[in-house]
Amino acid sequence: MNIEAVIFDMDGVIIDSEPLHRKLDDVLLSQYGIKVSKEEQLGFIGVTSCCKWERIKRKYNLSVPVEELIKKDRKLYLDSLKKDKNIEPIKGVDKFIKFFYERNLKLAIASSSPRNVIEIVIGKFELEKYFYKIISGDDVKNSKPSPDIFLKAAELLKVKPSRCMVVEDSKNGIEASKNAGMYCTAFRNLNSGNQELTKADLIVDSFDYALRWFANVKSE
């Protein structure tokens, strides 16, 4: 496997944020008398805030501007991140990140979350020094499953897409990585729902297993 760069999604890969996102979405939508099912919320995993709230606004005929919904959504999430001292990275992902960093691969985060949220999360987990570039959903026009965010990451890393590996947990993210022509490792996160992962090149249930798998590949 000739990989020069590893591109990590954040939500559901580095931080187990999906349960918190669903809880905060319920809080925000309750202000407008709306209840979105868990299944519908799981369908938003991997897409940008703008894409998610445009869909909700259209489906439920909300008169509130999308920009206002995004602003409220982000404030609720940022406040929660700052207040909750018990939030930790997903088990084993820090060692998985360090494994590639120590082998001089270029690392990036390509997440649909806004940049300030990404920076708070990786700062909270003391992971910022490992990432060469950060690409947020605000940096590209089209949301996953469009390949835009991963192609942008490859461009900034100055690595051919075919030499990049993406680490994802969602159907949208996996499709985006394959549409970009990249190798994809899918992490099966049970809190991300029953995501369709079969298009990924490798599916793992834990980062401890993933670390052992790649260590064996490197040593062959």
Where along the chain do its domains lie? 5-16+90-219, 18-83
> Using 50, 70 and 90 to split pLDDT, how confident is the model at 80?
confident
* Number of C-beta neighbours around residue 206 at 10 A: 15
Give residue 220's pLDDT. 40
**Mean pLDDT taken over the chain:** 91
Q: Which CATH architecture has domain 5-16+90-219?
A: 3-Layer(aba) Sandwich (3.40)
CA distance 30 to 28: 5
Nearest by Cα to 45 from 72, 81, 19, 74: 19
The residue-averaged pLDDT of 35-44 equals 84
> Using 50, 70 and 90 to split pLDDT, how confident is the model at 173?
very high
CA distance 23 to 37: 11
| Cβ atoms of 94 and 127 closer than 8 Å | yes
Fold classification of 18-83 is DNA polymerase; domain 1 (1.10.150)
User: Residue 136: what residue type?
Assistant: S
Note whether 5-16+90-219 and 18-83 share their fold. no
